[in-house]
Structure 1
Amino acid sequence: MHCVYEFEMNNLKESYDIGKVARQANGSVLLKSGKTVLLATVVMDKNPVEEDFLPLTVQYIEKSYAAGKIPGGYVKREQKPGDFETLTSRIVDRALRPLFPKGFMNPVVITVLVLSADEESDLQVLALNAASAALYLSDIPIRTAVSGIRVAEINGELVLNPKLSDLQNSTLDLYLAGTKEDLLMIEMRSISSEEPQIIPPSAVDPMLDPTLAEEVVVVKKANSYNEDELLKAILFGKEALNEACKLYETTFIESAKEMIEVPLKDEKINENIWVYIDEVYKESIYNAINSMAKSERSEALQDIAKKIAEDEIALEQNWEYELILKVVDKYKRSVVREMILKERKRADGRGLKDVRPITIETNILPSAHGSCLFTRGQTQALVAVTIGERTDAQMYELLTGKGPKYEHFMVHYNFPSFSVGEARPIGPPGRRELGHGNLAKRALEPVVDVEEDKTIRLVSEILESNGSSSMATVCGGALALKAANIPLIDLVAGVAMGLVIEGGEYAILTDIMGLEDHDGDMDFKVAGTKEGITAMQMDIKLGGIEAGILKEALYQAKEARIHILEIMEKAAQEIVVNEENLPSSETLTVHPSKIAEIIGQAGKTIKEIIEKFEVSIDIEKEKGKVKVTGKSKPKVVAACEHIKTIAEKPAREIPKFKEGDVFTGKVKRVVDFGAFVELPGGIDGLIHISKLAKGRVNRVEDIVKEGDEVEVEVLSQKGHKIELALKEVIK
């Protein structure tokens, strides 16, 4: 049945075309919004997998033709997904995965193709809405709609689903996903504002001409949200989200396919094995739970399962090892949750609000620009910072953007298998690595004031992981930036929170480890300064969370964040900067009339400075700005002093020559286009190759060589620029 549904709500117009295209899929929908068109399809394999997990794959793919573009690079077709595509796939996956019931083992592939793109459309919101509609309309037995929504704060007002151009003026970027009843996912970042300040010339350099125009300088101001402000924005978005899902469900139900029967894998456990473990191996399970490292705990549980499989009762009852291991894992989960809810005690002996011990070492890599080894419990991140030039920025292009963009602050997160004791080779970064790196970047970006002519790359190598490695990256990243002498508006710390809830009881956990993440009901990461939150990410496994519990979790996270920040502040005071490693740059402001003398005739003076001091020099003639950059700070300072000496000298009077004047001088330099000759008064004139002889000259060296004494005639003079003609070569 072909039909079209149109919606206009939450500042968003959508049109869903159903039953027109991709009809071989279990479910498909063509979503249109403005000039944006997305095709979402859902396909399920009829054969379940043997493994005990949900085989769900989400692919969000952008087609270049959607924006009238041809793919860049040597191969002119779409290749591996870009970061935005990968992160969007991850968002859709995290929002839809909770809908699938336990025991669902049939492979499902959800594909979202961007066929046409509007530069004002929020593709992440539309991608989730399209994928959710395709799943809801399919014959897969899921009848719950999920919707995505973005909340911004513009001029102090909360705005739903802003245009991308309006989002540039927002101080908040909050992405929510949920059903008509529950909030399932939160992605949040604060956006720092940029405020123009007028600087008088005397404030830049007291030697400057006071009549010069005042300069407008853009200063970055860090922005964050306190817990109450953030909660208000979340509840504002949640209300709109719930209304949208209700409308989707009541409208789409008439076009949804008849559900097919999908057998669910039996989640029941063998009660006899459970009772046997409880009677004989309870203490062994407790000891395994309290094993220090994640890898050791896993091995201990496997050893227990092997011992049980060798027991006489197991042999009599034909209990298979795989079944025993599954029951052991379920028993372990119940023990962990019971300890937390009943005893208010955690597997490693901590209280619910306790943060694991923290140690910090800075600049442990002698050749790096800045580094920090941040260790929290059994989680360890080695974070290194490299400072580059403007040309080192990462170029990228968005489908909805006009032309390439440049990323001047990069955060790259690596998770090698040895960090969890697994024997796997290191490969390219996957979705998880990109997602964690993106979260850390969003947390740190509001406090990093990257100069427009600089590029900063921060790399986090996870050396050991037992929970919250992304938040360790945030903490270590902030200190590594400090260790590289990069100015931060404030320090940022991050902490991972957890939630265990059963019946009417719940417990909020601070600084969760891997065990609590695996067996808990919520993964909740919060990063920020002492003033407020700069980034947050939340995934809820149990189907929803009450506002009161969310508020309590936010404030408990604040306590932990401040505790961690106090430790970080002490470490920051002890940083010894590797001055000899750091690239240095100094910017001088001189009177624009002095620029010509700094450059020198034909660039002679500036080239001598560059060669002598091993620096690079950028000049803005109109503003009189001279930027000196080099790998050695002492040489940069010396070059600056030399330039100041040139700028402070009284202006040299330029000799005046008349057309037809004849002089004798030496050839100072030979170039492809002619020769420079020294004239009276220490100024050089140029004999163009066309003025060396009456006929054609192929090579300047065929007529004159460096050091030759020549007789020349002045053809013209414009300031320093003097044109000459060769009369005679005097050997």
Structure 2
Amino acid sequence: MERVEVNVGKEDPIIIETGELALFASGSVVVKQGGTAVLATVCLGETPSEALDFTPLTVDYREQSSAWGKIPGGFIKREGKPTDREILVSRVIDRTLRPLFPEGFNYEVVVTVLTLSADEKYDPDVLSIIGGGAALTISPIPFHGPCGALRIGLVDGTFVPNPTYEERQRSELDLIVSFREGSVIMVEGGGKEVPEDKVVSAIFYALKVGEPLISAQKELAQRLNKKKLEELIKPFDEVFYKRLKDLSEKKVELALSIPDKLERRKALQEVFEEVSQSIEPELQVFSQYYFKKLVSETMRRKLFETGLRIDGRRPEDIREIKIDLHPFERPHGSAIFSRGQTQVYATVTLGSREEAQLVETIFEGETFKRFMLHYNFPPFCTGDARPWGPPRRREIGHGALAERAIEPFIPPEEEFPYIIRVVANVLSSNGSSSMATVCASSLALFDAGVPLPKHVAGVAMGLVRQDERNIILTDILGDEDQLGDMDFKVAGTYEGITSLQMDLKVKGITEEILISALERAKLARFAILDKMYSACPKPRPELSPYAPLIEIVQVPEEKAPLIIGPGGKTVKEIRERTNTVIWVLEGGKVSITGKRREDLEAAKREIFALLAEVEVGKTYTGKIVRIEPYGLFVEILPGRVGLLHVSKMESPPRDLRSNFKIGDEIKVRVFEIDELGRPKLTTFDLDKYEGPVY
């Protein structure tokens, strides 16, 4: 077994081991920190893909609850389809590794990461990124590694590398930074309105602290000394590319001058089909790759020559913004946000506690998720003729990014006792749909009357690099994302950043470029926020008439079990009688949900009657629950039954059973409570002041 150990400023070092587990894989490592350990493996396919424009990479991250000593919750006691968290971790691994495969390498690569052990300190996600990169670095697979990753927190004004779970709860920043030697690859995270300069400092702090991770992997690879399969890389055919360029460059340039996305795409496709007819059949399989490269090169050249983008904008310009609040009646809140040809329709639905999403996590076990943001990207939004299937990884990722941007401002349950679900449907997409989702969702939440303290907006930034020249693009189009060198999504408020995601296709960017990109993103965000506040300056004062009514009442914590009753019997009966939904929460809080105000009031009366103390001297209207020759047993409060002895009746009948029946109401006064807590009742001297009627 080979092993390296790296100290990143924590008491627990990061340990990378290889040579003992998963030996049939092309490369495998175990990465540990504290009590958390992951197994990362990589396997290489035997035959190349026909496509040359990307490496067919699959990343599969799996968490098994046995890693933290639990049996899965729910009816089926076995892990099933990937959870949202597993998908999100798979994506950050993928986005770190994918840019590091050499161009022309088109063999299938599968990276699988399995959590072996998970303590309550260190999240396996960062170790999984390190593991995926290390497994590729020591394998024969062509890979421009090594690479590393760190989570950076900001606790009490100090950057903390790989913070523990407890430190993350106190942190203003939660940022994952992936890097190779001297350059950033990927950034993912969020914060509590963190200033731009702090974000830049955090990213370059990660680069500095993470240097030993790169050195350690180099050392490990040197020890193993596995030869890279460079012969699997198809070399770039300069002759073929020049031939393709001569045939189509002018026509590509003309097509790129069309501002409309669909018309431009159609024109480029026509150019490609025309050129393909002049190419030998055996070379046509590669022509798509070279044609895409030509389109990218032409777009870059035009931008540097004219200073104008595909749609005629200058680099810093934002597309036209349109906002339509509450376009449809029944959703509790809704908004349509359009930015150029990108259009998102967001709806808000308010619900009760029983509609919360149950989530099982390593650190918190089973918890309820109060705020959910679901992003949908139907095929029609890009003009594609195919069925609309279940959400893909990209949709899960974009939804999480937008959710993270808004979540810091969701009011606590004590102030707003609703479960909140936002659904964002992309109606048309021409770039930056995830950031349009942030804007549309913020507007829809205001429209629903959710008391957010401020709006949140987002914008996607791009970068085009040619030789040593760089142009930063604001509010990028879909083509600028695909053909450019950076996709940098930034969301936040006037005060700072709450969510960001950066992917790079070039070997690193300077601190100067990063600062400039964030400053331009800030200016764009402010301009967008101005538009949003102009359309909807504050949350609606009242909720939709179609939203449920919810109220939280406080009861003595020690008496809360009385509301539930044996096996939930009592609370179920109150629900049925009052047509409400009742949840007994922690700390003696009780959530009551209903469609009508009178139903809520009825439920509250029953709950407080249930918890009321029997008082000596009070008169109660109770129900007869049992009849004996010597007296009546009367329930004066829920679960509190007292004896009305015949000797304590003002005018006792000769035969009780002939004069009373079970269920009859009778007015009685409590004159004594015996040593066992049982009320003793009488009909003498009934007070005018009465207790609750039950």
Q: 2:27 aligns to what?
A: 27
1:374 maps to 2:343: no
Paired residues of 1:686 and 1:724 also in contact (CA < 8 A): no
2:104 is paired with a residue whose SS is coil
Q: Is residue 301–residue 328 contact of structure 1 (8 Å, CA) maintained in 2?
A: no
**AA aligned opposite 2:491:** A
Q: Which residue of 2 aligns with 1:239?
A: 208
Whichever residue aligns with residue 246 of structure 2, its letter is V
Change (3 A) 1:244 1:578: same
Q: Partners of 2:19 and 2:121 in 1: how far apart?
A: 27
Secondary structure at the aligned position of 2:508 is classed as coil
Task: Please report how far the alpha carbon of residue 449 of structure 1 lies from its aligned counterpart in structure 2 after TM superposition.
Answer: 1.4
Aligned to 1:42: 42
The alignment partner of 2:194 has SS state of coil
Counterpart residue number, 1:274: 245
Q: Following the alignment from structure 2 to structure 1, what is the Cα–Cα distance between the partners of residues 593 and 231?
A: 65
How many residues are matched? 647
**One-letter identity of the residue aligned with 2:248:** I
Could you say which residue in structure 1 is the equivalent of 2:99? Answer: 98
Local SS of the residue matching 1:411: strand
Share of identical aligned residues, percent? 39
1:464 equivalent in alignment to 2:399: no
Cα RMSD after superposing both structures: 4.2
Distance in 2 (CA, whole Å) between partners of 1:36 and 1:140 is: 27
Which whole-Å deviations, capped at 9, do the CAs of 1:49-83 have from their partners, x for residues lacking one? 11232111111111222222222333322211111
Q: Distance in 2 between matches of 1:116 and 1:329?
A: 44
Q: Measure how far apart 1:615 and its partner are.
A: 5.7
> Aligned letter for 2:475?
D
How does 1:209-228 map onto structure 2 within 5 Å? 223-228=192-197
2:256 equivalent in structure 1: 289
Q: For residues 500-557 of structure 1, give each alpha carbon's deviation from its aligned partner in whole angstroms, at most 9, with x where no partner exists.
A: 0011211000000101001000000000101111111100111211000000000000
1:214: which partner in 2? none
Given that 2:634 and 2:641 are in contact with CA atoms closer than 8 Å, whether structure 1 keeps it comes out as no
What secondary structure does 2:193 align onto? coil
Q: Would you say 1:425 and 2:391 are equivalent positions? A: no
Alignment correspondent of 2:547: 582
1:518 aligns with 2:482: yes
The AA in structure 1 aligned to 2:272 is A
The separation in 2 between residues aligned to 1:723 and 1:560, in whole angstroms, is 75
Alpha-carbon contact 2:248-2:271 (below 8 Å) kept = no
1:385 is displaced (CA, Å) by: 0.8
Q: Residue 408 of structure 1 corresponds to which residue in structure 2?
A: 370
For residues 447-462 of structure 1, the aligned pairs below 5 Å read: 447-452=409-414, 453-462=417-426
Contact 1:521–1:542 under 8 Å retained in 2: yes
2:247 is paired with a residue whose SS is helix
CA distance in 2, matches of 1:384, 1:707: 49
Task: Give the distance between the partners of 1:79 and 1:680, measured in 2 at CA.
Answer: 51
Question: What letter matches 1:297 in structure 2?
Answer: R
Equivalent residue, structure 1, for 2:685: none
Cα distance in 2 between the residues matched to 1:250 and 1:8: 15
- Offset at residue 590 of structure 1 (A): 10
Q: CA deviation at 1:626?
A: 8.0
The correspondence for 1:442, drawn from 371, 381, 404, is 404
C-alpha contact 2:38 2:117 (8 A) present in aligned 1? yes
The one-letter amino acid paired with 1:288 is: A
**Equivalent pair of 1:386/1:457 in contact (CA under 8 Å):** yes
Q: Give the letter for the 2:9 counterpart.
A: N
1:499–1:523 CA contact under 8 A, matched in 2: yes
Once the two structures are superposed, the pairs formed by residues 693-704 of structure 1 within 5 Å of their partners are none
- Residue ranges of structure 1 left out of the alignment (5+ in a row): 191-222, 599-605, 658-664, 692-700, 726-731
Distance change >3 Å, CA 716–CA 574, structure 1 → 2: closer
- Is the Cα–Cα contact under 8 Å of residues 104 and 235 in structure 2 kept in the other structure? yes
Measured at CA, do residues 655 and 565 of structure 1 come closer, stay the same or move farther in structure 2, by a change above 3 Å?
same
Indicate whether 1:304 and 2:266 are aligned: no
Aligned partner of 2:113 in structure 1 is 112
Q: Which moved more, 1:166-175 or 1:554-563?
A: 166-175
Cα deviation for residue 429 of structure 1 reads: 1.3
Letter in 2 for 1:371: S
Q: CA deviation at 1:417?
A: 0.9
Indicate conservation of the 8 Å contact 1:148/1:176, yes or no: yes
* CA distance in structure 2 between the aligned counterparts of 1:711 and 1:522, rounded to whole angstroms: 79
Q: Does 1:4 align with 2:6?
A: no
**TM-score normalised by the chain length of structure 1:** 0.79
Measured in 1, the distance between the counterparts of 2:74 and 2:445 equals 33
Change (3 A) 1:571 1:147: same
SS of 1:128's partner is helix
For residues 546 and 563 of structure 1, the distance between their equivalents in structure 2, rounded to whole angstroms, comes to 26
Structure 2 equivalent of residue 18 of structure 1: 18
Distance in 1 between residues matched to 2:621 and 2:195, nearest whole Å? 73
Q: Distance in 1 between matches of 2:665 and 2:533?
A: 69
Letter in 1 for 2:3: V
In the alignment, is the contact (CA less than 8 A) between 1:667 and 1:678 conserved in 2? no
Matching of residue 503 in structure 1 with residue 503 in structure 2: no
Aligned partners of 2:146 and 2:617: how far apart in 1?
Answer: 83
SS at match of 2:384: coil
Q: CA deviation at 1:293?
A: 4.3
| Partners of 1:666 and 1:417 in 2: CA distance | 65
Does structure 1 retain, via aligned residues, the 8 Å contact 2:139–2:228?
A: yes
Give me the whole-angstrom Cα distance separating, in 2, the residues matched to 1:622 and 1:70: 28
User: Hey, what's the Cα distance between the residues in 2 that align with 1:682 and 1:386?
Assistant: 38
CA apart distance, 1:26: 1.1
Q: CA deviation at 1:242?
A: 2.9
- Alpha carbons 1:667, 1:677 under 8 Å: kept: no
The 3-state SS of whatever aligns with 2:142 is coil
Aligned counterparts, 1:125-164, within 5 A: 125-142=126-143, 144-164=145-165
The 2-side partners of 1:672 and 1:50 are apart by: 88
C-alpha distance 394-619 of structure 1, shift in aligned 2 (>3 A): closer
Task: Give SS of 1:119's match.
Answer: coil
Map Cα deviations across residues 336-377 of structure 1 (whole Å, 9 max, x no partner): 111222211011111111111111111122111111111111
Bigger mean CA offset, 286-295 vs 492-501: 286-295
Match of 2:170, SS?
coil
**Distance across 1 between alignment mates of 2:22 and 2:593:** 57
Q: 1:364 to 1:671 in 2, by over 3 A?
A: farther
Q: Following the alignment from structure 2 to structure 1, what is the Cα–Cα distance between the partners of residues 59 and 586? A: 53
Instruction: Give the C-alpha shift of residue 277 in structure 1.
Output: 2.1
Indicate the larger mover: 228-237 or 467-476.
228-237
Cα shift at 1:134? 1.1
- SS of match in other structure, 2:263: helix
Tell me, yes or no, if structure 1 residue 342 matches structure 2 residue 305.
yes
Asked if 1 retains the 8 angstrom alpha-carbon contact of 2:617 and 2:669, the reply is no
Partner of 1:204: none
